[in-house]
């Protein structure tokens, strides 16, 4: 990879990091100023954005060559795909109120409780809400639908970085 491609991947990794930070800040705004308490699946998606953002931040700081950019991109792609899967499952849960109600006491909630991640960064990782549809939408999409869209976009960008590094 030439120096200009390395510089480009570094800038794209930095942009991905900033997008993830922006999405997390907006989630905090919705939670703390709009009163939309997150549910366990919301927290899982937040963790996905944290992971994607950290991978991108490390890639931006490191400024790797072609192989390193491909490695960070592969890791980011896997993390973004996992986040998209969590968001898709959350959308599926919300499609049926009975199914959404079963989120309380679910294995995901139990795991989050056991890991006590909410105690690390309570304002970001502590959930208080049930997995029911929140009264928020933008352009007709709910929060988990937008989360899904962003994870897919980020996965595509990671894939593009990996593919352009091969040329």
What confidence tens digit (pLDDT) does each residue in 37-69 have? 888 888 899 999 999 999 999 999 987 888 888
Q: Please report, in angstroms and rounded to a whole number, the separation of the first and last CA atoms in the chain.
A: 8
Structure tokens at 99: 């199914």
pLDDT digits (tens, 9 = 90+) for 73-118: 999 999 999 999 999 998 888 888 777 777 776 777 778 777 777 7
The CATH number of the structural domain formed by 3-166 is 1.20.1550.10
What are the structural domain ranges in the chain? Answer: 3-166
Q: What is the DSSP letter of 141?
A: B
Helix (H, G, I), strand (E, B) or coil at 96: coil
Task: Cite the DSSP H helix spans in the chain.
Answer: 3-32, 40-62, 66-94, 97-101, 107-115, 117-120, 122-125, 143-166
């Amino acid at each position: 990879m030439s120096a200009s491609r390395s510089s480009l991947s570094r800038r794209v990794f930095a942009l991905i990091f900033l997008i993830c930070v922006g999405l997390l800040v907006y989630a905090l705004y919705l939670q703390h100023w709009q009163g939309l308490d997150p549910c366990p699946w919301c927290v899982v998606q937040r963790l996905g954005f944290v992971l994607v953002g950290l991978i991108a931040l490390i890639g931006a700081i490191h400024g790797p060559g072609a192989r390193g950019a491909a490695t960070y991109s592969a890791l980011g792609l896997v993390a973004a795909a996992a986040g998209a899967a969590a968001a898709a499952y959350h959308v599926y849960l919300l499609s049926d109120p009975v199914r959404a109600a079963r989120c309380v006491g679910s294995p995901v909630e139990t795991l989050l409780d056991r890991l006590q991640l909410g105690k690390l960064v309570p304002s970001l990782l502590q959930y208080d809400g049930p997995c029911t549809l929140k009264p928020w939408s933008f352009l007709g999409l709910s929060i988990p639908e937008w989360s899904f869209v962003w994870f897919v976009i980020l996965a595509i960008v990671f894939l593009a970085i990996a593919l352009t590094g091969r040329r």
